[in-house]
Every structure is written in C-alpha cells, then in structure tokens.
Chain A
Amino acid sequence: MSKSPPIREHILEILSDAGEGAQKAGGIFAKASAKMGNYLWTVEIIPAEIQPPAHTTRGSSGIRIRFGADPVTNAGDQANLIFAFNEMSLLARLEADSLAPEVVLLIDDFWAQQEETQANYRQVVARVVAGGGRVIPVPLTQLLQDADAEQGKNTLALGVLSYLYHRDLSLVEEALRQSFAHKETAVIDANCALLHRGYDWAGGAVDFRVKIPAKPSKHPMLAMNGNQALGIGAIAAGFELCSMYPITPASSASVFLAKEFEAFGGVVHQAEDEIAAIGVALGSNYAGKPALTITSGPGLALKTEFMGLAVMTETPLVLVDVQRGGPSTGLPTKIEQSDLLAALYSTPGDAPKVVLAPTSIEDCFEVMITARRLAEDLRTLVVVLSDANLATGVQTFKRPPADRPDYFRPLEIEPVGTEAVPYQWDPETGIAPRLIPGHHRIPAMTSSLNHDPKGLVSYDGASNQRSHQMRRLKLNRLRESLKTPPLLGASQGDLLVVGWGSTLGAIEEAAAQAQKEGLAVSACHLRFLNPLPPGLKGLFGGFRQVVTVELNYGEPKEPGQLARLLRAETLVDVQSFAKVWGRPLMPCELLAEMRRLIQAQEA
C-alpha cells in the first residue's frame, strides 16, 4: 500500500447511466464529507433528456464533488478521480475535457468482458492511460451479483470511495440511512450491507488512498444548492406568493417552495404560462402581498411586457432569472450568463430597473431579502440573475442566525394624508408613497399609460418627460448609495479582471493563483448590474488592461455583454474573456488566459 500524497483537496466525479443513482451516492458522500469538516462544492451532471438511451454518451449522468480542507467556492478544474459505471459515461466527460491528465479512474470492468462493448471499453480506457491517468478496474457488477442484489451499484461505489478517501464509515452510513429514510427497513439494511461490502472489497483490493484533511467547523454549517437557497431566501424575505411556470433550470426553486411554502402561509401558483406567472405576481404585489416569479431565459423573453408594466406602474416586483444557455431554447440544463443585456434592456421603451446577481449559494439566500426590500423601497422591478451553475451547485456555508430581524419583514403601510395620490413623486428621490387597495382608504388609479401624479392618463410631452425623469431618479439615488466594489489585489497593475454573478469563486481562485505567480493581476466582481456602482472608471484607470470574464459569447471585436455595458459606462476599452462551453468557468482556464494576456502585453 503506497502512502497517500499530502493533498488538501480533490475533485471526484461519479458517472453512470441515468437512473443508476450516481447522484444519490455522491450526495451521501458529500454530506458525510461536510460533516467530517470538509468544505465542498458539488454539481450534478445532468443529461438533457429524461430517459436517454443507456450506455451512450448522451445518457451520461453523474455528480462532481470538489471537496477540501479550505473553503471551496466553485466547481474547480479537471477531475482528479473518476468512478465510472460504464465506459460511455466516461467518454462523455473525456470529450468534455473534464479529466485531469493524471486522473485516477475507477471503472466497472464488467463491460470489458462483454463482446459488444469490450472494444469500445479498451479504446476509452486506453485514452485515459495515454493521457497519464491510472486505471483501477472495479468488478462492480460482479460484486452486486455476488451480493445477490439487482440494484445498488451506487452504494457499492460509495463504499469503495469511502475507503479510498478515508471517510468515517459511520458518518457515511448515517447519511445513507437519512437519504433512504422514506424506504423500507429491509431496503436500507441491504444498502448498508452493500456499502460495507464495497468498503471491504476496496480495503482488500485497492492500493490507492487519498487523505483530505478535515476539521469540523465550530460554526453550524448548511449545505444546499442555489435554488434551494433562493427558495429559503424567498421564505425568509417574507414573500408569500411564488407565481411560476415550469422551466429548466429555474423550476427546482419553485418545486422546492411548493413543498415548503404552505407552512409559512405561502402559495406557489403554477400559472398557465410565463406571462400569466409574472402577471399574477404583479397583481399580488399591487394588492399588498409580496410575490415573486422565477424563470429562465425563454420565460424572461415572454415576461418583458409585464416587466415594463411593473416599471411603468411602479409596482414592486421581484423576478428571478436562473440563466441557462441561449438564445431560444438553447442549452436548457447548462450554464450561461447571457441574459444580462436582456434583463437590462429587453423591455421596449425606457424602463429602468434594478438588476442584482448573487455570487454564491449563500448569496442566493441573502439576495432575496435585498431584492424584496429594494423593490418595495423603490416601487419598481428588481431582477435577480442566478444561473444553472448556482442552481445545481451545492456549497457549504455558515448557517445564518435563527432570528434575524430582517426575516419576514412586514408589508409597509405608509401613512398618507387623505389627499394622497398614487404618483406623488418626491422631487428629491422620485419615490411616491404606495397606495395599497384594502389597506389605504383612498381609491387610486394605476395606469400603464403615461400618467400624471393622480394616476390619470396624460398624453402631454412635459408630463411624459417628467414621469420618465422620476422613474430614473429613483435608480440614480440608489446608485449614489452603492459601494464601489472592492478589489482583490493591488489597485494598480497590468490586468484587472471583472466578473459578475456565479463566476466569483473561479475568478478569485485564478487571480489569487496568478498573484502567487507574481503576475500584476487584480479582480473585481459586480453584484449590482443596474444601477452600476459608482467609481468603476477610477478603478479601471489603475490597470493597463481591463478584461471581463463572463459566460456568454464574445469575440475581440464583439466583446461579451458585461464588457459592452462597462464600455458604455466608463468609456474604457474593456475586453472580454467570454466563453459558452456550457460548463462552469474553470479557474485553470482563466489562469491560462491571464498568463497569455500579460505575456501579450509584454510582447
């Protein structure tokens, strides 16, 4: 048995056909690891089809677990260890360039013995070996047959992995029992037996082990994915209605709420279409019940008219867009950050709105509280741009305090005089008191047409100019109160990378590595996309080059969406590193780009 190298973190992928339970096994492994005190980020590898053909690259389903002794902020680079239930699942990841050259591959050797698959098996495994990887065949199917079981490859694999990574088997078994809690005792016991069988087999047959240091946290920790965090955040923020229409990858947030919301007096309304979904949310907010709508790109497209209505009628409204690949139906399950300009500008007419982007799972929780508050403060639309990476990524973070007073914020009924009118704009802030039917005694008119302070239709130009001014003024005042985002690194240097949303972790990791290598690179991350925080131009002035990092399509002459936005904002020649590979940003690829850019500067 060789001694394990001193490694602080590892990236593990478990791959199988859909339905074989790789994700479940990974979830249990992650939970046990988190309990032992590892930080982690897990992300599911999801086939786009519900019943993809088995034993094909399209059917590759699985989970990536990045876990380590230090906080983990993103899904990381290529995998260090892969447990594949068949060679086709593996091939899909190989093609996606998701394997580190020195990867350790565990693979069910059953397929090596089958006539119709053995050629393919050998070929795929040979590619791994050729790249520098090490292969450990596992008789997974055989072990299952020996145990006289039909299902449970995933639990066997979990046992093998528990041995390999020195997991505390009692914690793994506890997590497994929790995960199977709704099943019959016989099934649970059988799975526990398989777990031990896998563990014992590995103990006797595998001479490769990795020890990832783990130290249980003093602070209570949570682990959840971004859509669950959005859902819990919506609950804590005091939303009482979620009006939605099913769409990937946003649905899981609403689905989560559908199960939990009623305990808080909340309702998930599944509307007949995306348009009705936002309409119901808008109507609810208008009448004083905080409501939100959750969607993804194609849904956002359909909601644009209502987004304009919320801005025009100055009705508070929170819209969450869990971005996916576009345009049109695009890549439903894959990450992109390509709805930025649509969120800002897709509404016809001038419709200023607030656009926020959470950067981590914890942010997904917190942003909901901020979004509701700002929507009500400003009486306008707040768009929250999450993405598929956050939606499915599970991260550990500190459990927020039990009784934070900003939870369940009550609806504010502003005292108004009897002469109040619905659009009595304060000339300094542009904000008008909100008159709510059933709560205020003054019947008021709300109009989608240009209106005067009384809410009555006004066609004259001066009135139109004035109401536009007021709607813009609100955001201008908010902008004055925004902090200039902090810099990671020196305030002067060769390169500033600017990102937004879920890429924060990967960018910071790459920047920190670059700084270690002595490169004059700093990083800056935006959470407010509209209004943009003040001081960006000054910030950019300290660097020879400013490059945005974003997951949308960009070329040197047609840079990414944020780059275009920042060019207009700062008149600085911002370039972009904008890619649409349909997977989260890898720190290593950004690091390579940083090196390349600085080399190019020197040349």
Chain B
Amino acid sequence: MIDRILQPAVDRFEAARKNRLNEWIERARQVFAQYLGGATPSGYGAFGAATLDLDRWTRTLKGPGEPWNLSEELAQLEQQIPRLPGSRWVDINSEVSWVHQFNEQLAPYEDLVGLLRQAEALSYGRWVRPERPSWQDFSPAEWSLCPLVLVEGSQASAGLLLDLLASGLPLKILVQRSLQACFQARSGRGAALQPEIDLGWMAAGLRSAYSLCVPAGWAGERLEAGLASARAALFCLIEVPEEFEQLAVDSRTILPLCYDPDRAEKGAGPLELIGVSLNCPGWLPVTEEGLDDEGEACTREGALTPADLYARLSGAAAQFDGPPADQPGISLADYLAADHERRLHHLPTLAIRRANLRWTQEVVPPWLVGFCQRRLDLWQQALRQLGPLEAPSQAKPPVAAPSEVHPSPAEAVRSAMARLAAKLMGLEPSGLEALSGGLANPTTAVEPPKEQPPKPLTSSSGLPWIDSAKCTSCDECTRINAKIFAYNDQKQAFIKDPKAGPFRDLVKAAEKCSASIIHPGSPLNPQEKDLAKWVARAAKYP
C-alpha cells in the first residue's frame, strides 16, 4: 500500500515542496541583495559618526545588530541547499531514538527558516536579529518547506503510536491493515478495541493530531492534506476490495473519519465523518432482491451489519453455524436490540443469499455477534457523544425564560471528545466495560446510560438562581460570598453552591446586585438566625 497510495502522495508533496523552497530562497536572495555590496556603515549618519565612538557604543548595546552583513550567511545558505535532507522514513525500532532522528532531519531547516525570516522581515522594512528558530515555532507556511518524517506504524503497538502522536512531533504515521485481518482478531481483551479500525478515533481524541481513518481507496485528498499539515498525522488505512468499500462503511464496520484540528480555523468543524449519513442512529436499512423457498422472486428487508459484510467478503469461506435447530432464530439486528430475556430464547441469524439467489438463514457465531455489538455501540456512542449535550455544571435560569438557556457547547464538545477518547483508549472503566462486555457475554451488553440533563433550577424548586446572561460581572456577589457565587467561563456569575453559605448572603447579594438578577429562592437551613427578616427581604426577588 505504501507503494500504491502513500509513496505517490509523498512524491507529489516533495516536488511541490522543492518548488516552494526555491521560490522562497529566490525571494530572500532578492531582499538581501538590496542590503549587500555597500561598505559596512556606521548606521548613525555622519552626525553620529562625528560625535560618537561607535565601536564603543555598539559594544555597549551588545552586538552590531545590523541587517546589511548578510553576505556570509547567504553564501552559507546557498552551499547548504543541495544538502538539505528530503522526506524520509524513520525506523521507530532503531537504536537511535526517533526524537533524535527527527531533530537531525529538521536542524538544517531551522537555520534556513531563521534566514528566511530575516529576509521576510526586511522586505516589510523590519529587522529581526539573527536567531535560530526552533521547528516548534515554525508557522504553517514555514512547515510547508520542511520534509516529511514518516513512520510505518503497522509494526508498533497502538499505545506507542498514540505516544508518538501525543509527542507533538509532526510525524506522519501510516497504519495499514486488511479488513479480513480485522475480522480475524476473534478473541482476547486486547483485540476488543480493534485498534486498526479505531485508532483514527483515538487519535482524534487527542485533538491536536490530524487523523484519517478510511478504506484505503478513499484516502485521496485527505491523505495529501494530512501530509501537508504542520501537525502529527495518523493515516489509518484499511485495505478493502474496492467493491466492498461502501459496504464496509454502511455496515458500520469502518467508521470513517477525518479529524483536522486546523479545519476549525478554515471555517469548518475539525471533525468530518466521511460517506456516512448522520441521521440514522442504528443499522442502515437495506432492501435486497432474491428468491424465496418456492423460487419466487421476493424482496427482503433488513438491516446492514458487519456480519453481512463478513459473509459477502469471505463468500463460501465464511464460517457460519448452519440454520437454527433447537431454538427459533431472529435476525441479528433484532437480536442485538433484544432484551436479555428474549436473547436467552433466540439465536441470532443472518439471511445469506446463496449463488442460486435463494436465501438461507445461518446462525451467526458468537465472536461475530460480539464484533457487531461493539461496532454498533461505538457508532451510537460516537453520535451521542458528539451531539449537542447539556453544559456541565451550569446553573440554569428558570424555564420561564427559555431563550436564555445557552449551555457552553464548546465545552460540551471538548469534554465529549475527551470522554470518547478515554473510552476508546480504555482509560475510563465504564466505557471499557461497555465496549468489551459485548465480547465476554453478548447478553450483558447494555445501552450506555443516557446523559441526564441537569434538572433545571426554577424558582418553584425553591433553589436560588441567577439570570447569568445578564450578569455585569460587578463582583458584588462574589465579594459577599465567593463560595456561593462564582463566575463561569464567560465571566458571568452563577450559583456554585447554594449551601455554601447562609441565606442572608444570598439576600444581601440580591440587594447589592447591580443588574438585579439574583433570586435567593427559599432558605435551605430553617435554623438560620433572623430568618423571617431575610425571607421578607428576599420577597422582592422572586
């Protein structure tokens, strides 16, 4: 696959990169040329030369700091150009650490970029003192001049790959595997995550890396964009015969995504789900023509699952357990949706259209049931986690003012992505159990718990609340009691903990509030001193 898909993309990148490099260097040469050739001047005019000991003064200022002594550096640069290293593969199993290999590769480019920056600044009438920049500070445009550092990731563990991605080094990691191989990983907890298929999702969870997970044939422009990105990139390319690519996606076997953290800046969201309709939370319905037992043409309606893909992909070689015998069979989709009781008395079956176009019902083996269960869970989980969630820990205004309900969606997405990644990487126990449970015992698979929206706090609940959107951030309430009142990330006050202080403080805050948006509710502690007085004063702020 490297030869077929990746290498041509790398070659195209290299050709374009060398063009860019030559253009930049030519431009720099032109800028420098304006400052070359003259004798080194005092830089202080004849007036300065007549009055100042310029040697002494420039020594005092520490360094000559003049832009017109560039000839030497320019000559060095010109010598260097043929020796600037190009894109290369890095051996992660080598004795020499990959960090070292990476730095070695980039070092000449740091010198180059330093000089280009000086030229760039000079062309705008600005002078930047010579300083060797670090590749970490390169702008995207400067990165586009640097060669690629590629890693063949298929030989490494998922853990190591995520380490590489998280290191911040803009490595380009290729992971490739055939779809068949994915189906063959049948047992064992380690295989539960199907890292080859889901590595892309894990990488997306890091939020800082470019991540592409698609059937290999779909890589195309997104692969090139990933190569050109200034970020670390993971290309998880699943080799699927071309005629099965769409099916692999439609059956939820592959959940193809492209996560480009920079796309947010380009005016779209960072996450792109490829070739998937988002408005179907379960299996895709499917209608197929075939012949019934009598040989009559009939249409069968069902759901498309990974088992269908497996059956078609493997053809006659597919291992199924024959038609159901002692127990009635129900379709795999129904089985997966069934409750525990129903599952106990039914077998999951798959309708397979044989070469003679007749349908046969075959029992699906447990490993494949588990596989399908996990794919469905992941799909639903992904959708649920990425959907608009309620903001965490945000005090809410009463229902009476629904237009004011604005959870912080950015926060929601951020935490959703983090949680999804944690689950995928097995860092969150509940998530891991939910995912691996299906394998150990399909019948115990449970729907992930539905996110409970926080109960809206209304005046009728008796709890205090703040119409946060109208807060003027005057600090009055937080000064009275910083345990009860706090600011959210929009710097608007909300009630952090109504029990953290006396009812008195709530009332005083309501009275002081310059925007009159604090509603003290009713007292939580009936023992509080002078309560009647405070309740009376609170009445003005229902």
**Which A positions have Cβ atoms within 8 angstroms of B?**
233, 237-238, 288, 356, 358, 362-363, 365-370, 373-374, 377, 400, 403-406, 408-415, 429, 431, 439, 477-478, 480-483, 485, 527-528, 533
Contact = CB atoms under 8 A, between A and B. Distances in A.
B127 A405 contact: no
B428 interface: no
B61 A431 contact: yes
B122 interface: yes
A408 B43 CA distance: 10
Interface string B49-76: 0111110110011100111100000000
Contact of A413 (B35, B51, B121): B121
A413 B130 CA distance: 10
A478 B46 contact: no
Given A405-B38, A478-B57, A483-B52, A410 B47 contact: no
B131 to A, nearest CB: 4
Closest 4 A/B residue pairs (Cβ): A369-B45, A370-B48, A481-B57, A366-B47
Given A370-B47, A405-B43, A481-B53, 15 more contacts: A358-B47, A367-B47, A369-B45, A373-B43, A373-B45, A400-B46, A405-B68, A406-B43, A406-B44, A410-B124, A410-B127, A412-B65, A415-B128, A477-B60, A480-B60
B142 to A, nearest CB: 15
A433 to B, nearest CB: 10
A422 to B, nearest CB: 18
A366 B60 contact: no
Q: Looking at B62, B68, B128, which has the most chain A CB atoms within 10 Å of its CB?
A: B128
A366 B126 contact: no
Contacts of A238: 125
A52 to B, nearest CB: 37
A413 B126 contact: yes
Given A366-B45, A481-B57, A481-B60, A410 B67 contact: yes
A406 B42 contact: yes
B82 interface: no
30 contacts: A233-B45, A237-B45, A363-B47, A365-B45, A366-B45, A367-B47, A369-B45, A369-B47, A370-B48, A373-B45, A400-B46, A404-B38, A405-B38, A405-B41, A406-B41, A406-B42, A409-B43, A410-B125, A411-B126, A412-B127, A414-B129, A429-B62, A477-B60, A481-B53, A481-B56, A481-B57, A482-B52, A482-B53, A483-B51, A483-B53
Contacts of B54: 481
Contacts of B128: 412-415
Contact of A368 (B41, B45, B65, B127): B45
B150 to A, nearest CB: 30
Q: Looking at A406, A411, A429, A527, which has the most chain B CB atoms within 10 Å of its CB?
A: A406
Given A412-B65, A412-B127, A403 B38 contact: yes
Nearest to A410: B127
Nearest to B127: A410
Interface in B92-143: 121-122, 124-129, 131
Contacts of B56: 480-481
Contacts of B43: 373, 405-406, 409
A406 B45 contact: yes
A503 to B, nearest CB: 17
A486 to B, nearest CB: 9
B65 A415 contact: no
A434 B128 CA distance: 12
A439 B125 contact: no
Interface string B30-41: 000001001111
Q: Looking at A365, A405, A411, A533, which has the most chain B CB atoms within 10 Å of its CB?
A: A405
A412 B126 contact: yes
B121 A410 contact: yes
B168 to A, nearest CB: 16
Contacts of A533: 51
A439 B68 CA distance: 21
B45 A367 contact: yes
Contacts of A413: 121, 126-129
B126 A410 contact: yes
Contacts of A477: 60
A365 B67 CA distance: 22
Nearest to B53: A481
A412 B129 contact: yes
Contacts of B50: 483, 527
A226 to B, nearest CB: 13
Contact of A377 (B47, B51, B61): B61
A408 to B, nearest CB: 7
Contacts of B48: 366, 369-370, 373-374
B350 to A, nearest CB: 59
A369 B124 CA distance: 19
A71 B61 CA distance: 38
Contact of B51 (A369, A411, A429, A528): A528
Contact of A411 (B38, B65, B127): B127
A301 to B, nearest CB: 26
A363 B45 CA distance: 9
A93 to B, nearest CB: 34
A370 B44 CA distance: 5
B47 A356 contact: yes
Interface string B129-163: 10100000000000000000000000000000000
A369 B44 contact: yes
Contacts of B45: 233, 237, 365-370, 373, 406
Contacts of A429: 60-62
